[in-house]
Amino acid sequence: MNKDFKKLEKNLGYSFQKKETLVKALTHVSKSKENNEVFEFLGDSVLNLIISQILVEKFSMDDEGTLSLMRSKLVSRTTLNKIAKKLELDSFIIKGDSLAGQETPENILGNALEAIFGAVYKESGLEFIRKIIETTFTREIELLREGNLKNSKTLLQEYCQKNKFSLPTYNQIEKKENIYPFIVTCKLDESSSCEGFGKSLKLAEQDAAARLLKKIGVKDE
Q: Which helix (H) or strand (E) holds 96?
A: none
pLDDT of residue 42: 96
Amino acid sitting at position 65: G
- The pLDDT, as a whole number, for residue 3 is 46
- Helix (H) or strand (E) holding 195, with range, is strand 192-198
Predicted confidence band at 143 (pLDDT cuts at 50, 70, 90)?
confident
Residue type, 34: E
44 as an active site residue: the answer is: yes
Question: Do the domain assignments include residue 180?
Answer: yes
Whether residue 125 sits in one domain with residue 58: yes
Q: Is residue 178 part of a domain?
A: yes
- Structural domain span for residue 40: 3-143
Instruction: Report the candidate in 98, 218, 110 with the shortest Cα–Cα distance to residue 158.
Output: 218
114 has catalytic annotation: yes
pLDDT score, position 58: 87
Per-residue model confidence as pLDDT tens digits over 83-92: 999 998 988 9
Q: What is the CATH classification number for the domain harbouring 189?
A: 3.30.160.20
The reply to whether 221 falls in a domain is no
Residues 93, 104: contact at Cβ < 8 Å?
A: yes
Separation CA 18–CA 7 (nearest Å): 16
Q: Is the distance from CB of 128 to CB of 99 less than 8 angstroms?
A: no
Give the per-residue pLDDT at 104. 73
- Does residue 190 form part of some domain? yes
Question: Other C-beta atoms within 10 Å of 97: how many?
Answer: 8
Average pLDDT over residues 39-59: 94
Of 106, 114, 207, 220, catalytic: 114
- Mean local confidence (pLDDT), 44-67: 89
CA 124 to chain centre: 20
pLDDT of 160-210, one tens digit each?
999 899 999 999 988 766 677 889 999 998 788 999 888 788 888 888 998
Q: pLDDT-derived band of residue 145, with 50, 70 and 90 as boundaries?
A: low
The rounded distance, in Å, linking the Cα atoms of 194 and 153 is: 13
| Distance separating alpha carbons of residues 123 and 138, to the nearest angstrom | 23
Classify residue 113 as exposed, middle or buried by CB count within 10 Å of its CB (0-12, 13-18, 19+): buried
Q: What is the CATH number of the domain that holds 17?
A: 1.10.1520.10
Average pLDDT over residues 28-40: 91
Quick one: pLDDT band at residue 155, thresholds 50, 70, 90? confident
C-alpha atoms less than 13 angstroms from C-alpha of 46 in its C-beta half-sphere: 27
Share of the chain above pLDDT 70, in %: 92
Same domain, 127 and 158: no
pTM for this prediction: 0.71
Q: Which of 148, 175, 159 is nearest to 210 (CA)?
A: 159
Is the domain of 83 the same as that of 175? no
Lowest-pLDDT choice from 15-29, 39-53, 179-193: 179-193
Among the options 44, 106, 205, 220, which is catalytic? 44
List, in sequence order, every beta strand (DSSP E) within the chain: 169-173, 182-189, 192-198
For residue 211, the model assigns a pLDDT of 87
With a CB cutoff of 8 Å and minimum separation 6, the contacts of 121 are 42, 43, 46, 128, 129
